[in-house]
Amino acid sequence: MFKRQKSLASERKRGLFSQGATRSLWKNDMRNFQYLSQFVLSAGPLKLFPGVRHSKTTHFEIEILDAQTRKQICIVDKVTQTSTIHDVKQKFHKAYPKWYPSRVGLQLECGGPFLKDYITIQSVAASSIITLYFTDLGQQVSWITVFLAEFTGPLLIYLLFYLRIPCIYDVKESSRRLRHPVVHLACFFHCMHYIRYLLETLFVHKVSAGHTSLKNLLKGCAFYWGFTSWIAYYINHPWYTPPAFGNRQVTVSAISFLICEAGNHFINVMLSHPYHTGNNACFPSPNYNPFSWMFFLVSCPNYTYEIGSWISFTVMTQTLPVGIFTLLMSIQMSLWARKKHKIYLKKFNSYMHRKSAMIPFIL
């Protein structure tokens, strides 16, 4: 009996000893955990070393379908993330040489907008396989070709009418009647206007490197060349009558024309400055040049001066064809000015809230 009690006591001591040992171990573990957590918190966020990253270049497969028939034309493979739509067009051109890159139109959806050449594949990719829809844009021409053709035609056509070629006017009537001085002045101003256009296209304007349809070139040439023929025919006709108010009307409108031409040129030079072009462009601010003060009132003063030139030319020559041409140009430029004004409002809201688009306080 005594031995049994002794063994029970010894077992209790062992149990107490084991409990104390476990408690001391648990306390030590808690202290170690606290020390470890404090160390981690003091060390800051974990940083990955450059050597740990293993980035692999992802390649895409681009399936090109016909936008009308939805049939597959080809598959462009091994396209990297950094490749652009222009690179895809180049590979498509190698497979089908008759469709050069500027003629190829690619869309993410049928009827959607055409993707710009500078867009990267990674920005439009939802998976490793991309489906694009192809549309033949037709024969293309560069924008600088369009502008040079549109502005060279009126310059030469007006001079042909000014010389009074026998196949246009009657030779006897042309020799009998002397020309009014406004006829010579109108020829000089008209040629100066389009020579300025040509020089600015070549040396001032940042002409886009893109292309447009040949139809747009034909439409533009038909508009400018056709109206120039109509205007020049009436002003250089032997039976042309001078303005009703004589030299006063001619002098005032001529001065107004020269002011507007100078203003248009200086505004175009300002807009071509690197600070005012590109994605990080800032809105032009008026400076010491008095022609730039128009920026206080309108966001597109180049259109304001352009319309002013044609209104002055209409008053100076007092002919119906020039008036109709001025009206159509005013409508077109007002649409362009409103479109640009909306873009400026998004980019430069603090500068644009008190401005008009083209005509101060009106439009």
Our measurement of the distance from residue 177's CA atom to the centroid of its chain's CA atoms, rounded to an integer in Å, reads 51
Task: Kindly state the average pLDDT of the residues 299-328.
Answer: 95
pLDDT tens-place string over residues 75-106: 887 788 778 888 888 888 888 888 878 888 88
Task: Kindly state the average pLDDT of the residues 23-46.
Answer: 49
SS3 readout for 205-227: CCCCCCEEEHHHHHHHHHHHHHH
> Please, what is the angle between helix 214-235 and helix 320-347, to 10°?
140
Considering only 13-27, 49-63, 146-160, which range has the smallest mean pLDDT? 13-27
SS3 288: coil
Question: What integer pLDDT is reported at residue 333 of this predicted model?
Answer: 93
pLDDT tens-place string over residues 120-179: 887 877 777 888 888 888 888 888 999 999 999 999 999 999 988 888 877 777 777 788
More confident residue, 16 or 348: 348
Q: What is the mean pLDDT of the chain?
A: 79
pTM of the model: 0.74
pLDDT tens-place string over residues 207-242: 766 788 888 899 999 999 999 999 999 999 888 888
